[in-house]
Amino acid sequence: MVRRSAIRFGFAIVVLVGGVRVAAAQSQTTTSPSADPVLAGYLRLYSGDRDGAYRHFETLRAREPENLAFWYGQLFAHESRIDLRPALQTSFEQGIDQLLAKADDRYSRTHADSEALFYLANGYLLRSRYRLDHNKGIWGAARDAAKSKSYSDEYLKQHPEHGDAYLALGLYNYYVDIAPTFIKVLRFILFLPAGSRTEGLKQLERAAREGSLFAPLADDVLSEVYGTFEGRVPDAVRVAERLQQRFPDNPDYRMDLARLYASSAIESFGRAADQYSAILARATSASPEDLRAKYRATLGLSDLRRSQWRLDEAIGLLTPVIDAKIATPDWVTPNFLLRRANYRTLLNDPGAPDDARRVLGDGKMSTFHKAAERQLAAIDDRRRSDEGVVYAELIPGNRLAVEHQWNDAKAAYDRVGASHPGDWQVKYRLAYLDFQRGSYDAAARGLESIVTSGAKIPRWLKAAAMLNLGWTYDIGGRRTEAVKLYKKVVDDYEDQGAAGAARLGLLTPYRPRSTTSS
């Protein structure tokens, strides 16, 4: 699942957690939280207590204002709170600049000051992430990332035994290398160092295996890397389960685990629902943290029901929140409206445009206006033919297929086909049903008839058929042919949802769905 553009993904993830190798130069590993105050602060952060972690480091720094470990820990916790409190941006910007100036002054006086070197590497990574996440300038962020890479390399020459020190370098190497179309252009313009996917993965695994303060962060990254880019979803689940069990109070780890359970590679919908329900059961206060967790989990559960083709239930989860007219957080109402508009469109509900127009007509939702415009345009295109009618009629069969009721699903599709002879959506669903049940040769034949047809076929359907055909080729060991299809989807159907999955196919051969039960 690619949730951001490749250019932001490559850099924003590169710097996502690289800045948290705090104090490892001083505190190598085996001490307990009670004996190591820095470790105690980071464990609070991993547990989801952002404010508590900030106050912890603030107290430490009150005793030693220029202690780089305490100072950086405070800044990292501070930055983690900005999404809930945007007014904190100014104080963070001042603080990170001051930290970098102090570390640079120390390192300039003597290059033997490995602690100063360590925090230069981490400080530039943290500032790079901040600049990207808050639209403070891509070029400045890229230059910060390059500086961090250089300082990280130098630090590891001095301390190759330091497990935590491999996290940031692994992030940079891995993510820069897997986004060549975008990152290499930036690298050429800005003279950024190259990366290495293979070495980056090894470095991330070493950070998870040998690190102490930052092993949970390395595990979090590995869960994403395994599940999204390496095709190792069972490994991703194993790592995510370990994180969630260790830090049960952190809703973000539960969200990540729920998404893995719900993925097409696992389809363990019951376990995914359990994670969302656990978040909702805990998020009962009016604190910003609980509100964020509550509404994110509600959206996640709604998406889960959509994955199961239980669209009425998905809409039922969204509607009470929409009716409540939530003002804070300000992202809630527009997101819920646009999500409901999408689900209603799939059901061919004539009222679907109303939700998108409501977003478009509210000046307070201006950041969501382009998304609303795109949604309205898509609805209009859909209504110019009977595409929406046929799509909605196929939904009961889709639900049966997800439930592995293969024969009943086929019967449902055949009934729609009888009402719409020769319809391409019906042909696609029958072919994809073969794919779902593991009849890959039959699926390939059905998909090939769609891919090679010169008839007018909806763009989303053509792209999906090419993607799925590429999957059957990968499963059958026809990697070269699969790659050709993925490239065609990326080149010719970049505006379609299948393009993201096709990019992943270029990185890693598709693997069949796990047999894990729901």
CATH number, position 440: 1.25.40.10
Provide the domain count of the chain.
3
Question: What band does 171 get if pLDDT is binned at 50, 70 and 90?
Answer: confident
Q: Are residues 415 and 462 in the same domain?
A: yes
- Tell me the pLDDT of the chain averaged across its residues: 89
pLDDT of residue 133: 86
The answer as to whether 35 is a domain residue is yes
Percentage of residues in the chain having pLDDT higher than 70: 90
Residue 236 inside a domain? The answer is no
Residues 502 and 368 in one domain: no
Confidence of residue 383 (pLDDT cuts 50, 70, 90): confident
> How many angstroms separate the Cα of 189 from the Cα of each of 49, 142, 362?
40, 10, 40
**pLDDT for res 53:** 96
pLDDT score of 125: 86
- Do 408 and 354 lie in one domain? The reply is no
pLDDT digits (tens, 9 = 90+) for 240-266: 999 999 999 999 999 999 999 999 889
Asked if the model's pLDDT at residue 505 lies above 80, the reply is yes
Higher pLDDT, 512 or 376: 376
Domain boundary, last residue among 384, 412, 439: 384
268 belongs to a structural domain? no
Contact (Cβ atoms closer than 8 angstroms) between residue 503 and residue 486: yes
Same domain for 376 and 409: no
Mean pLDDT across 475-498: 95
Q: What is the per-residue pLDDT across 53-111, written as a single tens digit (0 to 9) for each? A: 999 999 999 999 999 999 999 999 999 999 889 999 999 999 999 999 999 999 999 99
Instruction: Say yes or no: 424 and 315 in one domain.
Output: no
Type and span of the H or E element at 421: none
Which comes out higher in pLDDT, residue 294 or 174?
Answer: 294
DSSP 8-state symbol, 229: I
Q: Residue 300: inside a domain, yes or no?
A: no
Answer yes or no: is pLDDT of 9 > 80: no
Structure tokens at 303: 């998406």
Whether residue 422 lies inside any domain: the answer is: yes
**Residue 150 and residue 19 share a domain:** yes
Q: Is the pLDDT assigned to residue 26 strictly greater than 70? A: no
How sure is the predictor about 31, in pLDDT bands with cuts at 50, 70 and 90? Answer: low
Say whether both 345 and 485 belong to one domain: no
| pTM, 2 dp | 0.88
Q: Does the CA dihedral 351-262-313-433 come out positive or negative?
A: positive
- Under a CB-based contact definition with an 8 Å cutoff, are residues 434 and 457 in contact? no
Residues 16 and 134 in one domain: yes
Range of the domain at 460: 387-507
Contact status, residue 404 vs residue 438, Cβ threshold 8 Å: no
Residues 172 and 26 in one domain: yes
Assigned domain for 289 exists: no
Q: What pLDDT is recorded for position 2?
A: 38
Lowest-confidence region among 173-187, 275-289, 382-396: 173-187
Q: Which pLDDT value is given to residue 3?
A: 38
- Distance between CA atoms of 430 and 402, rounded to whole angstroms? 13
Is residue 242 a part of any domain in this protein?
no
pLDDT, tens digit, for every residue of 388-425? Answer: 999 999 999 999 999 999 999 999 999 999 999 999 99
pLDDT at 184 over 90: no
- Are both 323 and 415 inside the same structural domain? no
| Weakest mean pLDDT among 15-24, 144-153, 314-323, 456-465 | 15-24
Q: Which of these three, 213, 243, 267, is where a domain ends? A: 213
Q: Is residue 24, in this structure, part of any structural domain at all? A: yes
Instruction: Please tell me which residue, 134 or 413, carries the higher pLDDT value.
Output: 413
Please tell me the distance from the alpha carbon of residue 248 to that of residue 95, in angstroms, as a whole number. Answer: 31
- The reply to whether 412 and 314 lie within a common domain is no
pLDDT of 195 = 86
- Reading the block at residue 94, the tokens are 């001042």
Tell whether the model's pLDDT for residue 4 goes beyond 50: no
Across 142-166, average pLDDT = 90
Whether 402 and 476 map to the same domain: the answer is: yes
Sequence-ordered list of residues with C-beta below 8 angstroms from that of 441, at least 6 positions apart, any chain: 472, 476
CATH number of the CATH domain containing 102: 1.25.40
Long-range contacts of 325-333 (CB under 8 A, 24+ apart): 326/295, 328/291, 329/84, 329/288, 329/291, 329/292, 329/295, 330/364, 332/295, 333/365
Tens digits of per-residue pLDDT, 298-351?
999 999 999 999 999 999 999 999 999 999 899 999 999 999 999 999 999 999
pLDDT, tens digit (0-9, with 9 covering 90-100), for 195-247: 899 999 999 999 999 998 889 999 999 999 999 999 999 999 999 999 999 99
**Among the three residues 325, 359, 384, which one is the final residue of a domain in this structure?**
384
